[in-house]
Amino acid sequence: MPVCFRSNNTIRWVVLLAMFLAVAVLTTAGCRKEKDHQDDRNAAQLYEDAKRYLDNKSWARATVAYKMLQTRYPFGRYTEQSMLDLSYVYFKGGNSQGALSTLDRFIRTYPAHPNVDYAYYLKGLVNYEQNLGFLERMMPTRVRDRDQSAARDSFLDFSELLRRFPNSRYVPDARQRMVFLRNNLAAYEILVADYYLRRKAYIAAVNRARYVLEVYPNTPETEEALVILHKAYTELKLPQLADSSWSVLELNYPDNYYVQGKKQKRSWASRLWPFD
């Protein structure tokens, strides 16, 4: 009986091993057949397949297809365009870093490409959406509370587009986004300056407020920067600088809340002491 059991067990394992080998052979043959089929496609066919995935918003399949095209055909017009398409696929698929690195590589490799302006525009758009897009749509008032590093990068990318390609069809949209970015960058600096002011770090508050006036002039935050300067200079016992900030604020923004509040206080005080 024990000998028979071992014999049956051995036969069973031999059968299982044979079945496994048969499945492996069939699978390998199928993979080789599929690979051979893919190898038959030229660059144009590979690009058409990848573009079809892109149009259907199948980002994962499009990524694989574009990478295959670039691996098999590292040069050529289809490969050049595929880098831009792949950057867009990365962008829509949520891979911001992949999009930015691919766009940087494209700009370095093909600086004279007829669509290089799109590369600069897409870079700005990727950085814009990275930290701002969702909040702008869902919680517009919270955009200025976020870290602004991506916003600065986006502003620089759009600025480079305007500088290099002023007649590009992407310039009007880039310019509008730059206005939004500029206003929010200024608002972020004012939030930081106000924080320093409340913490009695008056020199730091002055530096932030002056930065807004120098780098982001004529934004909605200009008057608030002047208010912070007047408050901080007053606390620092610098009357000349405080008076200068007040004069500019009162002249340009007579209806500002801070100006009106000061005038009301002075009017009340003048009734008590009318001898000045």
| pLDDT tens, residue by residue, 146-205 | 567 888 999 999 999 999 999 999 999 999 999 999 998 999 999 999 999 999 999 999
String of DSSP letters for 107-171 = HHH-TT-TTHHHHHHHHHHHHHIIIIIHHHHH-GGGGGGS--HHHHHHHHHHHHHHHH-TT-TTH
The Cα–Cα gap between 234 and 238 comes to 6
Given pLDDT bands bounded at 50, 70 and 90, which one contains residue 76?
confident
Say what the pLDDT of residue 274 is: 46
Find the range with the poorest average confidence among 9-18, 86-95, 180-189.
9-18
Say what the pLDDT of residue 129 is: 87
Find the range with the poorest average confidence among 37-46, 80-89, 113-122, 159-168.
37-46
Return the closest-CA partner of residue 63 out of 80, 50, 44. 50
The Cα–Cα gap between 178 and 162 comes to 10
